[in-house]
Amino acid sequence: MRKIENFIAGEYVAAGSGQRFDKRSPLDNRVIASISEAGRPEVDAAVKAARGALNGEWGGLSTEQRVELLYGVANEITRRFDDFVEAEMADTGQPSHVMKHVFIPRGAANFKVFADVVKNVPSESFQMATPDGRGALNYSMRVPKGVVGVICPWNAPFMLMTWKVGPALACGNTVIVKPSEESPQTAALLGEVMNAVGIPRGVYNVVHGFGPDSAGEFLTQHPGVNAITFTGETRTGAAIMKAASEGMRDVSFELGGKNAGIVFADADFDAAVDGIFRSAFLNSGQVCLGTERVYVERPIFERFVQALKVKAEGVKFGRPDDHNANYGPLISQEHRDKVLSYYRKAVEEGATVVTGGGVPQMPGELAEGAWVQPTIWTGLSDNAAVVREEIFGPCCHIRPFDSENEVVALANDNVYGLSTTIWTNDLARAHRMAARVEVGITWINSWFLRDLRTPFGGAKQSGIGREGGVHSLEFYTETRNVCVKL
């Protein structure tokens, strides 16, 4: 069994309290690792180390020197690719092809992309007249925000953690990462990469633990943390925002979603079925951008429901390294209980269960894992809990619609506004819809395509701020003005 420690000032250290917690495999509920739970002393030490690096060697590096180091980080991740794949599969139980082709490559790319962004970002300057006729020159400069607390989710842990660590370091900040207690391994492993590349000690720190009365709360309340970036559920984001209000510290949040998929009758039918299947069921439905509400134009509604049913019933459950399997478990028994409670609630509210709704029969020790069936419902009212509340599991409700105005109203009738995927061959309609649906990102005839130079974030209760490309600089740097009298 692995022992995973906190990473502070370039060293792996156990909490002084000796407090530890178990990490269980989603596959079979075995204990696979013992994690050191950071207390206030460890968080204090991490903040001290981060501040020291900021005021020391790291803070003295030029942009070009930081860029070179971050390219080194990306290259070292690629060199140790299999180690990261193994660690992520162990924590999440998801298939190897998802790790090898999406999550781990994106994790490495995040360092190179943001290194390139800061290397090429322009500044601005203005000349102005003065009463004495000599004039003055104003120019802007960007400086690091400082020590950044990074609170990470468990559903795509390495990719989403480096999405924040990459731009934070590129901009010259130092970071303290608090990974989810369900997925601690790749954040810890990245410490080895940082040391191997020569990132100064204290630039990258990791503290393990939970939220309330643990590492998460201690980090977000710490007055030495200048800014906090968080991906997770909206309720937790609200608690972090309250903590950040002490000291008026900046926050960047990517929060919950109850995303709508919209399929018009003129869409490429097979492509739309494949696209909605991916957006509803990829990563066992544990994707913040996933589709849990599907609206299909009435002429193709019945055909679409049956086609998606066939796709959902064709998944192959199994271990990540089973090449015949393409579907993994949920992250934990606790999360499975939550998802299954919604499966029961859907039936209680009168849903027609098109497929799924329960737990698959798994062989041997896998029967103890956090498995659930991909599930499709129809027939619920627009006010049903499973239509309105984020479930974060492999499920969706499908409802027919009759007009563009109707489906826009349906899509917008939710407190969340993270993403939507729209399927139509009418590009004029696609552009109209993109302007009207209240979300941070709209995909047309696609899903999960990401150009990392573009802004990413949610509307309404799905988040605060935008990250990606130069947009990340608005959070990870502070812009200052210098006025020079000539």
CB neighbours of residue 339 within 10 Å: 20
Q: What tokens does 183 get?
A: 């997925």
**Beta pairing, strands 477-485 & 136-144:** antiparallel
**DSSP character for 245?**
H
d(CA 331, CA 339): 11
Q: In what order do the strands lie in the sheet with 250-254?
A: 11-13, 6-8, 204-206, 174-178, 147-151, 227-231, 250-254, 463-464
Contact 390, 292 (CB under 8 A): yes
Q: What tokens does 137 get?
A: 């020159």
Question: What is the H or E stretch that residue 385 is in?
Answer: helix 385-388
State how far Cα 432 lies from the chain centre: 28
**Which residues 6+ apart lie within 8 Å of 65 measured at CB?**
none
The residues annotated as belonging to the active site are 254
Phi and psi at residue 426, to the nearest 5°: -95, 100
**Three-state DSSP class for 104?**
helix
User: To which residue do tokens 């209000």 refer?
Assistant: 245
d(CA 358, CA 351): 14
Q: What is the DSSP annotation of 204-235? A: EEE----STTSHHHHHHH-TT--EEEEES-HH
d(CA 453, CA 473): 11
What does R_g of the chain's alpha carbons equal in angstroms?
24
Amino acid at 140: S
Among 280, 204, 272, 221, which residue's Cα sits nearest to residue 46? 204
Tell me the residue ranges of DSSP E strands in 16-101. Answer: 20-24, 31-36
Q: What is the DSSP annotation of 260-295? A: EEEE-TTS-HHHHHHHHHHHHHGGGG--TT-EEEEE
State how far Cα 150 lies from the chain centre: 11
